[in-house]
Amino acid sequence: ELDKYFTVGKHVKVVRGRHEGSTGMVVKVFDSEGLAEVFSDTTQENMKVFIRDLEESTGVTHGLTKFGEQYNLLDLVALTSRIEGVIVSVEKTSCRVLTTESMGANQKVDTCKLQDIFRKVFASRLTAMDCFNNIVNKGDVVKVIHGDWRGKQGVV
């Protein structure tokens, strides 16, 4: 009987299964179970994969950009009536959303399935107010005056 064999540190691609198309580095091998733990290039998380579903690879997955029929990477989405966020990575069956529950350096990223997303938010219809009650729109240049990012500026 002939089996595939991978050592820790090998760069691999998943060719079948739930993580199909993902690439990463083998960080642990469970020979008795026929499994390998792979650190994903795109999600920066460990995934357990059957060794039979792996191939040695030199390429790196750049990740998917479309999630379901209507969502794309970097879309603004509503998870509930109070929680919104930005899709920051897309996998085959889920996406990761940086939510409005994040505060300063404490970023909250949720892994969401398609049914977890309430709706897409169209930013062109949104307006906001700054701390002086001035209207802020898309394209405006703003400067942060309070908090961790004080002194930084950017375009909305």
For 98-112, what is the mean pLDDT? 77
d(CA 29, CA 112): 28
Distance CA 7, CA 29 (A): 7
Residue 82 tokens read as: 């109070």
User: Could you give the percent of the chain with pLDDT greater than 70?
Assistant: 92
Domain ranges of the chain: 10-56, 66-150
Let me know how many helices (H) and strands (E) the chain has, helices first: 0, 16
What residues pair up with 40 in beta bridges, in sequence order?
24
What is the rounded CA–CA span in Å between residue 123 and residue 126? 5
Task: Provide the CB-side half-sphere exposure for 123 (13 A, CA).
Answer: 12
Task: Give me the mean pLDDT over the 14-41 stretch.
Answer: 89
State which CATH number among 2.60.40.10, 3.40.605.10, 3.30.1360.10, 2.30.30.30 fits the domain covering 10-56: 2.30.30.30
DSSP-assigned beta bridge partners for residue 30: 35
pLDDT, mean of residues 14-28: 89
Confidence of residue 103 (pLDDT cuts 50, 70, 90): low
Position 110 pLDDT exceeds 70: yes
- Which of 46-50, 61-65, 112-116, 148-152 shows the lowest per-residue confidence on average (mean pLDDT)? 61-65
What mean pLDDT value characterizes the chain? 84
pTM exceeding 0.85? no
State residue 131's pLDDT score. 80
